[in-house]
Every structure is written in structure tokens, then in C-alpha cells.
């Protein structure tokens, strides 16, 4: 099993490319989920929008757009509840 603990020098380029693709895929997935959350927010389905954004933040806790959207959707939910 120790063979899987390191990457041979000849495979380092492929390994780095694969890591970049993982990050790129994750970013695209999060972007798609935030777009989906915006759709729900527009439909006034705040709980669903919030849940989707929270799931995105679980994947990338430092995502500033997700943090902003979460605050916005929570405020929208509070405002709708008080009307």
C-alpha cells in the first residue's frame, strides 16, 4: 500500500492536472448550485435557497458569494415572515 502514498515524478504532471480539474469541477458545481438557489429565492422559496447555499458553503466555507447570498436569503425570509 505504500506505493499509493506518493506520486512518481513521471506522473506528477498528470497528478497536478487532475488536482486542478477537481478544483475546477468543484467551483463549477458550487456556481451551478448558487444559480439554482437564486432561482428558488426568486420564487420566494427561501428555505430551499438557504439550504442549497449552506450545502455550497460546506464544500467551500470561504466562498464569499455564497456567504453574501446566505445573508441576503435569510434577510428575505425574515422580511417575508414579518409581512
Contacts of 60 (CB under 8 A, 6+ apart): 26, 27, 30, 66
Residue pLDDT, tens place only, 43-59: 999 999 999 999 999 99
Predicted pLDDT of residue 3: 58
Does 21 reside within a domain? no
Does 48 reside within a domain? yes
Q: Which residues of the chain have pLDDT under 70?
A: 1-4, 7
Does 64 reside within a domain? yes
Does 50 reside within a domain? yes
Domain that holds residue 57: 38-83
Does 51 reside within a domain? yes
What is the dihedral angle through the alpha carbons of 8, 14, 15, 21, rounded to the nearest 10 degrees?
Answer: 180
Does 56 reside within a domain? yes
pTM score of the predicted model? 0.80
Does 47 reside within a domain? yes
- Beta-sheet strands, E only, within 14-69: none
Does 17 reside within a domain? no
Amino acid at each position: 500500500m505504500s506505493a499509493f502514498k506518493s506520486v512518481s515524478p513521471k506522473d506528477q504532471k498528470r497528478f497536478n492536472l487532475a488536482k486542478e480539474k477537481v478544483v475546477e469541477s468543484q467551483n463549477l458545481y458550487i456556481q451551478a448550485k448558487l444559480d439554482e438557489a437564486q432561482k428558488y429565492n426568486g420564487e420566494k422559496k427561501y428555505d430551499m435557497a438557504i439550504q442549497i447555499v449552506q450545502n455550497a458553503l460546506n464544500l467551500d466555507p470561504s466562498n464569499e458569494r455564497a456567504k453574501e447570498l446566505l445573508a441576503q436569503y435569510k434577510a428575505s425570509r425574515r422580511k417575508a415572515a414579518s409581512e
